[in-house]
Homo-oligomer: A and B are copies of this chain.
Amino acid sequence: MTDVNDRPDDLLSATTEKQRRILEAAVEVFAERGFAGSPTAEIAKRAGVAEGTIFKHYKTKKDLLIGVVGPLFFRLVLPKQLEPLQAIFRHPHPSVEALLTSLYRERVAYLHSHARLVRIFAQEVSYHPELRTLAEQTLGQMLLPDAVTAIERFQALGLIMQAPPTSVLRIMFGTMAAYALTRFVLFPEQPWDDGKEVEFMIQVVTRGLTPITV
C-alpha cells in the first residue's frame, strides 16, 4: 500500500504561511490567466494578503515567476514527478507494451491532476528563456538518458525497429501528449473512456514500433 499522498508538497517549504499562500495564489492565477494577464492585485486578493506583501517577498512580479515559481516547479515539483517516470524507464520491461502500459496508465492520472501547472509552464517557457533553460536541464538530465537507454535496450532485443531513440520517444510522448491535450485542455467536458483510449494507443504504438520481420 503506497502512500500516494504522503505530503501535500504541492508547494513547498516557503518559510512563512503568507509566503506559501502567495505562491499558491500565484500559481492559481497564472494558470487561469497566464503570467502577463495576471494582476498582482488579484494574486494578493486570493492569497489574502496586502499587495505590498508580495513585493516584500519577491522583488518583482517577474521574479515571482522566474525566480520562485519556476525553479520551484522545475527543481522540486517536476523532479519529484519525474522520478516515477525514471523508474519506469529503468525497469527492464519484458515488452514495449509493458513499458507503454506503465507509461500511459500511470501518467494519465497524474497529468489530470497537474494539467494546470504543466500548462502554465508549457506556455511561459516559450516567452522566458530562463525557464526554458531550467526545463531543458531538468528533462535532459533526469529523463532523457534513462529513456534513451531503455529504447536502445529494446532495439538490441529486436523489439523496436532501428531508428533514432529520440524519434521513437517522440512517437511515444507525442501520442500521449496529443491525447492529454484533447482530453484535458480542448474538450475536457466530453465523456472519455480513458481505459479504452489508452489501450488503443498502447497497441498502436507498440505495433508501429515493432521491427519489420521478413
Contact = CB atoms under 8 A, between A and B. Distances in A.
Interface of A: 32-37, 119, 123, 125-127, 132, 161, 163, 167, 170-171, 173-175, 177-179, 181-182, 185-186, 197, 200-201, 203-210, 212
Contacts of A32: 127
B126 A204 contact: no
Most chain B CB within 10 A, of A32, A173, A208, A212, is at A208
- Of A34, A126, A185, A206, chain B has the most CB atoms within 10 Å of the CB of A126
28 contacts: A32-B127, A33-B36, A34-B34, A34-B36, A35-B36, A35-B37, A36-B36, A119-B126, A123-B123, A125-B185, A161-B203, A163-B200, A170-B178, A170-B179, A171-B201, A174-B175, A174-B177, A174-B178, A174-B179, A177-B178, A204-B205, A205-B208, A206-B208, A207-B207, A207-B208, A207-B212, A208-B208, A208-B209
Number of copies: 4
Given A132-B186, A207-B207, A207-B210, 18 more contacts: A34-B34, A123-B123, A125-B185, A161-B203, A163-B200, A167-B200, A167-B201, A170-B178, A171-B175, A171-B178, A171-B204, A173-B178, A178-B178, A203-B208, A205-B208, A206-B208, A208-B208, A208-B209
A125 B123 CA distance: 11
Contacts of A208: 203-209
Q: Which 7 A-B pairs have the closest CB atoms?
A: A174-B178, A208-B208, A36-B37, A204-B208, A36-B36, A207-B208, A163-B200
A33 B37 CA distance: 12
B209 A204 contact: yes
